[in-house]
Structure 1
Amino acid sequence: MINLIIIWGLIVLFILQPGIAHDGAEAGAALFVNALLPYLLPYIILTQWLLKTPMKSNSKRNWKRYFKAYVLGSFGGFPVGAVTVTEMVKNGELTRRESGYLLAACHAPGPMFIIGFVGTELFGSSIAGWKLLASIHIANIIFFIFTLLLLKKTQPKMEIPQQVSKIKVSNSPLLDALKDSTNVIVLVATTVIFFSSLGNVLTSTILSTFTVDLGITKTILLAIFEMTSGVQSATDHFYTSKLFPFIIAAIISMNGLSIHMQVFVIAKTVNTPLLPYFFSRLWSIITVPVILYFLL
């Protein structure tokens, strides 16, 4: 019942504010094409291609499998970590329990996005982009180590995943990688455009109903719904503030519903536990800005 009320309420808002909804969707599409697609697509294709290429044998050593997941998943941008972990579960390289913790740790924006877009274009310094990227990975690695210790404590003899015999070996891994990458890109584009439009409509509604600060309200709402739009709004309203780099760090760490929906949809294909992912987002929102403060 509550879901129906929310859905119909949003439909009414979109009908009453078609121009604002259109502007939000247009802004989301522009951000996707200019800030996400060029950085995300090549890495998704290469990662999928590598994961779909037949291997002689999977390593039974935990650290090798975890290292592989972290390297492939954490440096490709959202939601490559989720794609990598779920693909490794399908290949029999990870158990479902392991995938829950790895999904939480192997979740970071791509280096090209942070250094190229955030660092160079927003911060005006690639060095600042490198420091933000380092802050994100330091927070992720600390969380990863803690969760692995917890995993080892609660399960002394960790299950070694075996190759699933029913998995069909691809005869054309590149073509399969292109196909699956297309599905991921469509998912990313859909969520970015929808939540950007939704954020715009809700911002306009709140501003017309209550007397609130435009910059703060718009930035918070857009950051909650769509990370890239939130980053753009923070740049428009807080660029001259001394807190600007830390606001950007917090927004990127929070991710927004758009990215969370991408991760949830992908993780659902192998029923990956999502509780560790939830705690990792809270951890990152708190620690990444603090680490960045000391690095800057």
Structure 2
Amino acid sequence: MVILILMIPIIFLLFLLLKKTTPIKSINILITAVCSLIVLFIILSPEICFKFSINGAKLFFYNVFPYVFPFMILSNLIIYYGGVEIYSKFLGILCKPQKLPKNTAIVLAISALCGYPLGAKYSCDLYEEGIIDFKTFERIINIASNAGPLFIVGSVGTSMLGSRHSGYILLASCYASCILMGILIPYKAPKMHIDIKKNNNIQSENNFGVSIKKSVENAIQVSIQLMGFIVFFSLLIGILKNSILFKSIQNPIVKSLILGCIEMTNGCSIISTSQISFELKMLSMSFLICFGGFCVISQIYSFVGKYKVSPVKFILRKLVQGFLGSLICFILISFSPKNDAKYTFNFQFSKYNFTLYYTYLIIIFLVPIFSSKFSRRKH
């Protein structure tokens, strides 16, 4: 109630300040006002802020750091020892349906295995090394931006929904939406072909000690950065949850989507405990996982923002990817065995289902490859 009373004069002052200002100054005033309100909330309700900041730190140390940190060290070492060239030879075929050069195969592989925001991080590395041009860089950050299989199958499917079956459906819809984005995003071939800079990342001495030291330092720097984003957005969610406006919302789907668009893990957690149908839970979760939420988008933009990539275009494309993911999820649920789909809890994942859903994944990846080859033969 105290905050509500204090907000009235602040809103009035904002109206007076924004009345005759330029767009840039208006944005500066709004951000300053919002940050001031958050500081005010922290002063008046320190126990809530402390609780949610601790929750964010726990989320990072128990759910993010254990798999992101070693993956980053290994990915850095792979790139440092010429992995871009090696991956382009073996996995280059995956890039053709996405209209990407073969030397981006390593980014697609890292994104598929590790998830947000490492695909964007290593896209930046390739661009900084001069291995890809700006158009390719702008394109790949939209394609190689997805949640990781450990989060989707482990955290969302097994832990939240109690079913790996559901996790694999969400994983398939996430990967398929990335592939479709590669097909749908307009493509302009670069005027000049950029070759891989061979031996650019390999030291002449081949000193493994120096290589692993640099890899660990980079992984620590990025991990601390990710922790800061997660703690900050956990604090924002805590403030939002305890606000009068949010408490007045009765619809659980609206609540979960609002929180999920800020931070997807919290949104998925609320959806999993909501009293709604299984199909609606899956469609909502698929949207949030493919969209990523503003916490993930902020993490991605901490890497790509300095290269003047349009944030509006990126967010709109992520929204499109979210809707595509929900549509694909609906199709997969429709073709799933009906008796299995209803077991959202205590589901026994049989050998038959394991084979079935991996068959789905293989078909999703192979169809664009064969279609691109068929279209080339026609021309």
| TM superposition score normalised by structure 2 | 0.68
Matched residue SS, 1:14? helix
| More RCO (CA 8 Å, sep 6+) | 1
Which structure has the greater CA radius of gyration? 2
Q: Letter of the aligned partner of 2:286 in structure 1? A: A
Per-residue CA distance 1:129-180 (angstroms, 9 max, x = gap): 1221111111111111233xx323xx46354256499989585222211111
Distance 1:207 1:279, change over 3 A: closer
Preserved CA contact (<8 Å) 2:260 2:288: yes
Q: Which residue does the alignment assign to 2:96?
A: none
Indicate whether 1:219 and 2:256 are aligned.
yes
Corresponding position: 1:151 with 2:187: yes
Query: Counterpart of 1:264?
Result: 301
The alignment partner of 1:237 has SS state of coil
Question: Pairwise mapping of residues 43-122 of structure 1 onto structure 2 (< 5 A)?
Answer: 43-54=71-82, 63-122=101-160
Letter in 1 for 2:262: F
1:126-205 equivalent positions in 2, closer than 5 A = 126-147=164-185, 150-152=186-188, 155=189, 157-160=191-194, 163=197, 171=207, 172-205=210-243
Bigger shift: 234-243 or 77-86? 234-243
Cα displacement string for residues 206-243 of structure 1 (whole angstroms, at most 9, x for unaligned residues)? 358x6322744642332122222222222233576541
1:278/1:103 Cα in 2 relative to 1: closer, same or farther (>3 Å)?
same
Deviation at 1:271, TM superposition (A): 4.7
Query: Could you tell me how far apart the structure 1 residues matched to 2:133 and 2:212 are?
Result: 25
How many Å separate the matches in 1 of 2:42 and 2:280?
Answer: 34
Output the CA distance in 1 between the equivalents of 2:163 and 2:289. Answer: 17
Contact 2:157 2:165 in 1 (8 A): yes
Identity %: 23
Question: Residues 123, 55 of structure 1: CA spacing in aligned structure 2 closer, same or farther, 3 A cutoff?
Answer: closer
Aligned length: 291
Q: Pick from 52, 69, 74 the counterpart of residue 41 of structure 1.
A: 69
Q: TM-score, normalised by structure 1?
A: 0.86
For 1:285, which of 313, 317, 322 is the aligned residue?
A: 322
Rate the CA distance shift 1:55–1:107 in 2: closer, same or farther, 3 A.
Answer: closer
2:284 to 247, 254, 275: 247
RMSD: 2.9
SS at match of 1:39: helix
The corresponding residue for 2:268 is: 231
Separation of aligned partners in 2, 1:214 and 1:189: 31
Deviation at 1:274, TM superposition (A): 4.8
Q: Tell whether the 8 Å contact from 2:82 to 2:202 is kept in structure 1 after alignment.
A: no
CA distance 1:216–1:156, shift in 2 (3 Å): closer
CA contact (8 A) 1:100 1:276 kept: no
Q: Report Cα offsets for 1:229-276 as digits up to 9, x if no partner.
A: 222222233576541122211221221221111111111355555565
Structure 2 gap segments, 5+ residues each: 1-28, 93-99, 334-379
